Amino acid sequence: MTTQADTPTPIPTAAGTAVTRTARPVPADVLDELRRADDAGRPPVPVTDEEGGAPLRCCLRRSEPGESIVLVSYAPLRRWAAATGADPGPYDEQGPVFVHARECAGPAGEELPFTGARRVVRRYSAAGHILGGRLVEDPGGFGAAFAEAFADPEVSLVHVRAVEYGCFLYEVRRG
């Protein structure tokens, strides 16, 4: 199994200084599970992506034409909560994410992924409860959104999500 490294990304803050936050892909061990059965209990169905462009959560890049991918149901907060002992209660949700059908090398670059469209930076407490969110409408707004989120000591992690579909794109944790 290939070990996926987190992608360290310097994110500029409103003051012009940079803090390093990490865009975290779906972990490799979780990908192994999702490629057998997703978080809704369904087996994945690989397809050849003829057009390319699907946001892959395994390597935090867009698919290339001809790659074999699967669309699986993923519950990122549930899995984080199980590892930390949190109880997200009704905030637990699952949704569709694209991943490679087979193991991949994980993230290769240091760019903050999937920033070319409107996104929501949703904040969560250590208990797994939503503490709010912020709409980011241009790539330059992520620094301020992350700085604002982590300025609140109650925020343990944030999810970056697509606005139009609500899909989970990646997670950023405190520290």
| Residue 53 within any structural domain of the chain | yes
- The DSSP output letter for 140 is G
| Residue 1 within any structural domain of the chain | no
**Domain total in the chain:** 1
Model pTM score = 0.85
pLDDT digit string, tens, across residues 144-163: 999 999 999 999 999 999 99
Distance CA 148, CA 80 (A): 22
Distance CA 23, CA 126 (A): 18
Smallest CA-to-CA distance from 92 within 75, 106, 105 is with 75
| Residue 52 within any structural domain of the chain | yes
| Residue 12 within any structural domain of the chain | no
Structural domain for 160, as ranges: 20-173
pLDDT digit string, tens, across residues 72-95: 999 999 999 999 999 999 999 999
